[in-house]
């Protein structure tokens, strides 16, 4: 698994910056005035930083200028960065990302003295760590595989910065876990190996139970099982329990779609781009990353993670368009399109979760519809809810951590598009409002009075070009937002 860079905080007093090896990062203000650490080493460098500032140095957030093999220094590189005037979280993250982009391999030392707000420094470090993520499990070149980094932060405010950064340590592990899962190819991350990855969370104190096809048949999870019946891989539901509260507290339930590969089944997808369908387990990946985060930080909350793991393949036993399957709830579903399989997985997983655990609320995540990408692009996830309070709490949490999301509507006209001539409902409602009708399909499997959110992460789970916080590929979107929701809803 990919490991985030280690962070060590060192006192400014007694640290000889001229003797620091590797890469040294110092800061200048927006007007080009060198910060305390930058001024200190500028003299050793013979005024090189002063000259660099004078050479069109804008000082805007995200500025990072690199000087190689500076005279008078042990460091191989010095990076002069700026966070801008009156910086906020966005500026801090932009600067952390910019620093990560110009870093060479090896260790790095940051000297944020002069940056007054410890929380903003912590945000900058967080962005830098996330942007340094590099998935190379399948590269054979030794140099390419060597991405281990150690980051030292030299600061005069040791205790304050350590406290400000503490919440990000476990979160980075959770995000990296999600990214690794989503980036793995389907011949490696099978339903069996995915379940084994989750079983390993028991070492952190998470209770993990794996339900195979025999158990699922007894439970009546026929909709979920129908999706995987064309695959040689066994369909599963994996339950993860984090019981961290000593209070009598009903758990919050997180439910994830885990289609480890989606060919579309008999309703076969076009060949072009099908290789990206390794990411169709993104919802399950996010739930897994959240559960790891909660365990690592010993969250004082009770949270249940449930993921439905299947592979959607064509074959002699695969379900067909026109098949009618009975869900665990008892509702019958006419399968119009076998490529609308995620909702069949989730409807049984959602019903099982509510029946088994009686949660205080349910949140499901899925790379569910291409329609969501058309609606919101790759910039935001769309979420749907039957409960304004829970929706508001999630929206605030997502805004706070920078996981951009937009609330979408629900309503009877959309549900009516799912009416079937032969069964209780169809699994698709046509092209119009495709992401909303998918949400309404899931809504049918939410018990009366149960607060619920459905989050469609089709556009944000994996991206084709780098973002501010992630390289090309898996983003880990949603781990931070859901961790924050647990903090604000359950741990205060």
DSSP conformation letters of 231-275: SSSPPEEEEEEEE--SS--PPEEEEEEEEEEE--TTSPPPSTTGG
The model carries a pTM of 0.97
For β-strands 236-243 and 452-456, DSSP reports them as unpaired
**Which pLDDT belongs to residue 55?**
66
Q: How many beta carbons lie within 10 A of that of residue 152, not counting itself?
A: 19
Tell me the C-alpha distance between 37 and 56, whole Å. 21
CATH of 6-153, one of 3.30.465.10, 3.40.50.300, 3.40.220.10, 3.40.50.720: 3.40.220.10
CB 420 within 8 A of CB 426: yes
Tokens of 300: 């004082």
| pLDDT (tens place) for every residue of the chain, 492 residues total | 899 999 999 998 888 999 999 999 999 988 888 999 999 999 999 999 998 887 677 788 888 989 999 999 999 999 999 988 888 999 999 999 999 999 988 899 999 977 878 999 999 999 999 999 999 999 988 665 656 689 999 998 899 999 999 999 999 999 999 999 999 999 999 999 999 999 999 999 999 999 999 999 999 999 999 999 999 999 999 999 999 998 888 999 999 999 999 999 999 999 999 999 999 999 999 999 999 999 999 999 999 999 999 999 999 999 999 999 999 999 999 999 999 999 999 999 999 999 999 999 999 999 999 999 999 999 999 999 999 999 999 999 999 999 999 999 999 999 999 999 999 999 999 999 999 999 999 999 999 999 999 999 999 999 999 999 999 999 999 999 999 999 999 997
Interatomic CA distance for residues 237 and 227, integer angstroms: 13
Q: How far apart are CA 67 and CA 47, in angstroms?
A: 12
List pLDDT tens digits, range 220-243.
999 999 999 999 999 999 999 999
Q: How many residues does the chain have?
A: 492
Could you read off the pLDDT of 48-92 as tens digits, one per residue?
A: 999 888 767 778 888 898 999 999 999 999 999 998 888 899 999
pLDDT at residue 236 in the model: 98
Which strand (E) or helix (H) includes residue 182?
Answer: helix 158-183
What residues form DSSP beta bridges with 63?
Answer: 82
DSSP 3-state of 170: helix
Return the structure tokens found at 276. 């990206």
Which residues belong to the active site? 269, 343
Give the CB-side neighbour count of residue 93, counting CA atoms within 13 A: 15
**Which uninterrupted H or E stretch holds 207?**
strand 207-211
Residue 190 phi/psi, 5-degree rounding, is -80, 175
Give the fold, CATH level 3, of 176-490. Aminopeptidase (3.40.630)
Distance CA 172, CA 186 (A): 24
Alpha-carbon separation of residue 440 from 130, 330, 443, 454, 466 (angstroms): 34, 17, 5, 10, 32
Q: Could you tell me the residue ranges of all domains in the chain?
A: 6-153, 176-490
Q: Which two structure tokens, joined as six digits, stand for 347?
A: 């409807």
Q: Give counts: helices (H), strands (E), the chain.
A: 16, 19
């Amino acid at each position: 698994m990919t490991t985030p860079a280690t962070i060590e905080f060192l006192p400014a007093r007694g640290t000889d910056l001229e003797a620091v090896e590797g890469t040294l990062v110092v800061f200048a203000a927006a007007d080009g005035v060198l910060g305390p650490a930058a001024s200190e080493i500028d003299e050793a460098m013979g005024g090189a930083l002063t000259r660099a500032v004078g050479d069109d140095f804008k000082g805007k957030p995200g500025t990072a200028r690199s000087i190689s093999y500076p005279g008078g220094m042990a460091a191989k590189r010095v990076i002069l960065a700026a966070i801008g005037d009156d910086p906020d979280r966005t500026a801090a993250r932009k600067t952390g990302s910019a620093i990560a982009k110009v870093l060479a391999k090896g260790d790095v030392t940051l000297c944020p003295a002069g940056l007054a707000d410890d929380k903003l420094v912590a945000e900058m470090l967080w962005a830098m760590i996330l942007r340094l993520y590099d998935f190379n499990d399948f590269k054979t070149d030794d140099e390419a595989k060597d991405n281990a980094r150690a980051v030292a932060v030299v600061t005069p405010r040791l205790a304050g910065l350590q406290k400000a950064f503490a919440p990000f340590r476990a979160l980075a592990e959770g995000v990296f876990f999600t990214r690794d899962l989503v980036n793995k190819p389907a011949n490696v991350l099978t339903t069996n190996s995915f379940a084994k990855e989750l079983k390993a969370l028991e070492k952190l104190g998470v209770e993990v139970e794996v339900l195979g096809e025999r158990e699922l048949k007894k439970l009546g999870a026929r909709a979920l099982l129908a999706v995987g019946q064309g695959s040689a891989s066994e369909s599963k539901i994996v339950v993860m329990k984090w019981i961290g509260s000593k209070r009598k507290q009903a758990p919050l339930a997180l439910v994830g779609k885990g289609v480890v590969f989606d060919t579309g089944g008999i309703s076969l997808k076009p060949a072009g781009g099908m290789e990206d369908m390794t990411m169709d387990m993104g919802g399950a990946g996010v739930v897994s990353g959240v559960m790891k985060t909660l365990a690592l930080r010993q969250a004082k909350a009770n949270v249940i993670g449930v993921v439905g793991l299947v592979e959607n393949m064509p074959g002699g036993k695969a379900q067909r368009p026109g098949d009618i399957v009975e869900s665990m709830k008892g509702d019958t579903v006419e399968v119009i399109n076998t490529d609308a399989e995620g909702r069949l997985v989730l409807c049984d997983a959602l019903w099982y979760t509510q029946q088994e655990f009686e949660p205080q609320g349910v949140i499901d995540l899925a790379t569910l519809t291409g329609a969501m990408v058309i609606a919101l692009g790759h910039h935001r996830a769309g979420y749907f809810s039957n409960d304004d309070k829970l929706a508001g709490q999630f929206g605030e949490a997502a805004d706070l951590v920078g996981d951009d999301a937009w609330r979408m509507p629900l309503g009877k006209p959309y549900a009516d598009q799912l009416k079937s001539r032969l069964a209780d409902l169809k699994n698709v409602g046509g092209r119009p409002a495709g992401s909303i009708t998918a949400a309404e399909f899931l809504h049918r499997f939410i018990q009366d009075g149960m607060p619920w959110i459905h989050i469609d992460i089709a556009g944000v789970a994996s991206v084709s070009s780098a973002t501010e916080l992630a390289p090309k590929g898996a983003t880990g979107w949603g781990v931070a937002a859901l961790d924050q929701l647990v903090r604000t809803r359950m741990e205060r």
